Structure 1
């Protein structure tokens, strides 16, 4: 390959615009591993990278895409060889480093995860950062004592990428799952993923703003945060945990210490970006085995788009109009 194409976000007529540009191989950034990218995925963070209000990218032009999966075509690190199937999520990919919305990528070897056996590149990107975050959330909840049979587990923002995968993974592990979504028309979709029931986010609010309400949830996966988080914390059962990974509901919340000191509730911060490589490989191994999606689940949770369709997909994810995951096909 002498050239490759990538979606590029750059200033044009005083506004940020996304367009497909062609690059030469010597335009690639520094890094030990060069990858022919087969698939990427669309995340909320990628949408933020495409707008000035997102404030996660400092320098333009920029190639977004915080996920990629493909095949090594060159490596100066002995841990990886030509032909190896790999994936990369998090670290600086798509933020401080050119990302996965590109037919070729070059990255530091320390960011690269061997594609686990039994997981295709397309399936890995249908899962992507969203599914990895969901899996990391469930993994951390279980490390803190959650087990099937303890009662219902809440998943907020359940029709989004993290929420959809959290519902499916919890259900596959034998948990009773209650899904929260403002999209009432998606109840059948959520039940198809394994949710036992679906509720409105308004149902999570504490009556009269009380710091504690009746104990409803054995645990919770929350990729939303914001004003409903206090109600979730105040209704988790004694010793239970909330795995918090997102801010689509806002960065602030008004709460008290009562859930923590009177019920022993744990608020677990979930970071998929700088997650240590040992834990990262452990979680991807679980994704490829006990949580591996079958074809029906992949079809339910994801849909494939072309590189040319990315600008519209980025707008959809920012507006909360995307169900599940959009997988970007990049190979040619």
Structure 2
């Protein structure tokens, strides 16, 4: 491997400029494992990094973007991995402060590398990607809080997005009754029901007309990758002992609520961090995503498959809220 292609992002005059350019092996950062990347995916965080230099995702441009990847080990200084091993990398500093997955080759610390579990292909691993990992972590959090299929209905917000769609499919696979909330209700009804949603709600059907800290108890649990000012309305409508797993801020970083849902109904607000989730837990979750958490309709979640050159348009699409499901990036051509 003398030269390879990657998506290069620069902050030029307070705007992010992205180009596919050529690199050499010595341009890669330090790390014990060199990987030939086969697939990556487009996540909301990638969209922010590729369009908004003030988003806070990347503090120091330039950068090779891409917060996840799957591929094959080419070289390894760590005996845990050898040439030919199929692997996954998500989270940590990938594509944020360390050259990322929108690149034909990546060199990363061995502590970030997860062996591809039996039951998943490299392609399937990136249909799941960071969004699916976040969804799986959210579903696992509900389980740890005692939320079982018989406990009651689970609401998934931001349902047309990657995390939301994955959460619906995973919950359905486990036997939960799921309702989906999406601003794109009219356009995505069939898609969301195909993933496993029993009902699809517009946010206006969920928001409280009169704001109050406690309202009718509608859901046993909520998977919320959106966040923002609607969070208090969601907490107010949880069952006694219910749980909300919060993983995103697409709706905003601030909300105003009271302590009443917590001290009068015993509800739990659980934060989901997919970036620094402990390695041992990552291994367990990826094993589950290759078995009982693997969506039965995984291909339905893959809206499109694109090349590195198509990424700037994909960033605009996800930031404009026009993307549903997952966008797979085929980095290695001819596979």
Contact 1:307 1:330 in 2 (8 A): yes
Q: Provide the C-alpha distance between the structure 2 equivalents of 1:178 and 1:318, rounded to a whole number of angstroms.
A: 24
Contact 1:305 1:328 in 2 (8 A): yes
Q: CA RMSD in A?
A: 1.1
Q: Provide the C-alpha distance between the structure 1 equivalents of 2:89 and 2:282, rounded to a whole number of angstroms.
A: 11
Q: Provide the C-alpha distance between the structure 1 equivalents of 2:14 and 2:91, rounded to a whole number of angstroms.
A: 29
SS at match of 2:258: coil
TM-superposition CA deviations, 1:240-297 (whole Å, max 9, x none): 1000000000000111100000000000000000000111111111100012234x43
2:206 matched to which residue of 1?
204
2:332 matched to which residue of 1?
331
Unmatched 5+ residue regions in structure 1?
none
Q: Provide the C-alpha distance between the structure 2 equivalents of 1:150 and 1:11, rounded to a whole number of angstroms.
A: 49
Instruction: State the TM-score, normalizing by the size of structure 2.
Output: 0.97
How many residue pairs get aligned? The number is 331
Out of 220, 226, 233, the position equivalent to 2:228 is 226
TM-superposition CA deviations, 1:109-131 (whole Å, max 9, x none): 00000001010111000000100
Contact 1:207 1:213 in 2 (8 A): no
Contact 2:9 2:63 in 1 (8 A): yes
Report 1:1-332 matches (<5 A).
Answer: 1-12=1-12, 15-50=15-50, 51-184=52-185, 185-294=187-296, 296-332=297-333
Contact 2:2 2:24 in 1 (8 A): yes
Q: Provide the C-alpha distance between the structure 1 equivalents of 2:260 and 2:13, rounded to a whole number of angstroms.
A: 52
Instruction: State the TM-score, normalizing by the size of structure 1.
Output: 0.97
Q: Provide the C-alpha distance between the structure 1 equivalents of 2:271 and 2:294, rounded to a whole number of angstroms.
A: 24
SS at match of 1:207: coil
User: Offset of 1:97 from its aligned partner?
Assistant: 0.4
User: Offset of 1:303 from its aligned partner?
Assistant: 2.1
Q: Provide the C-alpha distance between the structure 2 equivalents of 1:280 and 1:36, rounded to a whole number of angstroms.
A: 21
SS at match of 2:54: helix
Q: Provide the C-alpha distance between the structure 2 equivalents of 1:316 and 1:212, rounded to a whole number of angstroms.
A: 37
| The 10-residue stretch of structure 1 (195-204 or 69-78) with the greater mean CA deviation from structure 2 | 195-204
